[in-house]
Amino acid sequence: MEIMTSDYKHWLGELKQRIRQSQIKAAVKVNTELLQLYWQLGGEIVERQQNAKWGDGFLKQLSEDLNAEFPEMKGFSLRNLERIRNWYLFYYECNTITAQAVPQLENTKRQQPVDIIENINTKQVVSQFENEFFSIPWGHHILIMQRCKEMDKAIFYIHKTLENNWSRSVLDWQIDSNLFEREGKAVSNFSHTLPKPQSDLAQQITKDPYIIDIMGVRQEMLERELEAHLDKHISQYLLELGKGFTYYGHQIPLKVGDETFYIDQLFYHVRLHCYVVVELKATVFKPEHIGQLNFYVNAVNALMRTEGDNPTIGLLICKDKNDVVAEYTLQSVNSPIGVSSMKIYDQLTADYKSALPTTEEIEAEIRNMES
């Protein structure tokens, strides 16, 4: 007998969700324990190769012995044992170089990553970094270790991977697009127009430059064409803007007096709890652009902002900009506004494009942002 009542369907839906969540938790737990094993193994390999003088042949012998004992496990190949050793050394060596000291290896071989980070006074790292470190998949760690030469950069991508639930392909793309160097780099007046910590978070959500996807579209686009293209490909655009942006729409009408004005793009940022007005300019930055954006920000505050919303933020994205001119222009502006440039995919190399995430990965990322 098939049960099709609404109560049963509702209960079944909840049950499926709980099962999926338990599967995810189980996978995370298994991954965490495996990475903790790798970390300990890496430290022991380094210690024995140094103190016992066993040499590189030791790893080949160890690989053969472990594979014979645990044939069902895939992580004991010679290549992966070398990665485990290098992974451990990456964080250990970054610590010793940054601290400008070389402590005895036997005194540090059991240090957890969070201890290493605290030793180098990395204040911005959250206290739970150790949990983050052991939570992302091993394949992500390999990619980060291969692509990042500095510890602060590696830590940044570990945190972002966990925060955004990036697949390996999306992580690869984010590293390729130099997210670490771009995040929080917009010219802005947030520090004197917004209270802390909102000003810090507002700065953090900016990038410079923004990587805009117009592949397959002619290089010289009118602003309206660029808006329409981004509206059509909003998934990629939201992924570039970052976590927290909710799309409200483009060409949003605002009736001010007897006239109607149209905002290029309007978003709501769920972490900042405010509207974000985005103006796109297919030209080099000009001071008069700020006057127009400032008007839109004030209009949104007057016509759309509610009691629970923080002050509206403006973001101007231009084809290019002179930072000094932008800074001077913003000095006398009372509305919180940031100014960034844009880079077009068609200006990038073929290798760069090959690192782009698939449509399925982008859609999964957007679902994670919205959850």
Where is pLDDT greater, at 119 or 56?
56
Distance CA 58, CA 52 (A): 10
- For residue 134, tell me if it sits in a domain: no
Distance CA 195, CA 177 (A): 31
> Does 232 lie in the same domain as 93?
no
> Does 336 lie in the same domain as 210?
yes
> Does 118 lie in the same domain as 225?
no
Q: Which pLDDT does position 70 carry in this prediction?
A: 87
Over range 75-88, report the average pLDDT. Answer: 93
Over range 48-53, report the average pLDDT. Answer: 77
- For residue 369, tell me if it sits in a domain: no
In this structure, what token pair is assigned to residue 304?
A: 């759309």
Is the model's pLDDT at 117 over the cut of 80? no
> Does 192 lie in the same domain as 274?
yes
Where is pLDDT greater, at 272 or 95?
272
Instruction: Please give the full DSSP string across 148-168, using - where no structure is assigned.
Output: --SHHHHHHHHHHHHHHT--H
Round the CA-based radius of gyration of the chain to a whole number and report it. 25
In this structure, what token pair is assigned to residue 334?
A: 């009372």
- For residue 362, tell me if it sits in a domain: no
Is the model's pLDDT at 15 over the cut of 90? no
Q: Which pLDDT does position 272 carry in this prediction?
A: 94
**Conformation bin of residue 257: beta by default, left when phi > 0, alpha when psi is -120 to 50:** left
Distance CA 123, CA 155 (A): 12
Asked if residue 38 lies in contact with residue 138, where contact means CB atoms within 8 angstroms, the answer is yes
- For residue 37, tell me if it sits in a domain: yes
Closest CA to 37 of 81, 100, 99, 71: 81
| Residue-wise pLDDT tens digits, 120-161 | 333 333 335 677 888 899 999 999 999 998 988 999 999 999
Handedness of CA 181, 183, 188, 194 (dihedral sign): negative
> Does 340 lie in the same domain as 261?
yes
Peptide bond into 253 cis (omega under 30): no
Where is pLDDT greater, at 230 or 72?
72
Total-model pTM: 0.74
- For residue 73, tell me if it sits in a domain: yes
- For residue 159, tell me if it sits in a domain: no
Q: Which domain holds residue 215?
A: 182-350
Q: Using 50, 70 and 90 to split pLDDT, how confident is the model at 357?
A: low
Q: Using 50, 70 and 90 to split pLDDT, how confident is the model at 333?
A: very high
Q: Using 50, 70 and 90 to split pLDDT, how confident is the model at 346?
A: low
Is the model's pLDDT at 22 over the cut of 90? no
> Does 186 lie in the same domain as 120?
no
For the chain, the average pLDDT equals 80
Closest CA to 243 of 300, 159, 317: 159
> Does 334 lie in the same domain as 214?
yes
Is the model's pLDDT at 104 over the cut of 60? no
Q: Using 50, 70 and 90 to split pLDDT, how confident is the model at 100?
A: very low
Percentage of residues of the chain with pLDDT beyond 90: 43
Q: Using 50, 70 and 90 to split pLDDT, how confident is the model at 367?
A: low
Q: Using 50, 70 and 90 to split pLDDT, how confident is the model at 225?
A: confident
Q: Per DSSP, what are the bridge partners of residue 188?
A: 338
Is the model's pLDDT at 325 over the cut of 90? yes
Asked if residue 313 lies in contact with residue 275, where contact means CB atoms within 8 angstroms, the answer is yes
How far apart are the two ends of the chain, measured CA to CA in Å? 36
> Does 325 lie in the same domain as 191?
yes
- For residue 246, tell me if it sits in a domain: yes
The CATH number assigned to the domain holding 187 equals 3.40.1350.10
Handedness of CA 59, 62, 64, 67 (dihedral sign): negative
Percentage of residues of the chain with pLDDT beyond 70: 73
> Does 111 lie in the same domain as 15?
yes
Closest CA to 174 of 157, 153, 194: 157
> Does 338 lie in the same domain as 237?
yes
- For residue 113, tell me if it sits in a domain: yes
Where is pLDDT greater, at 309 or 163?
309
Lowest mean pLDDT among 30-44, 93-107, 119-133: 93-107
Domain total of the chain: 2
> Does 190 lie in the same domain as 113?
no
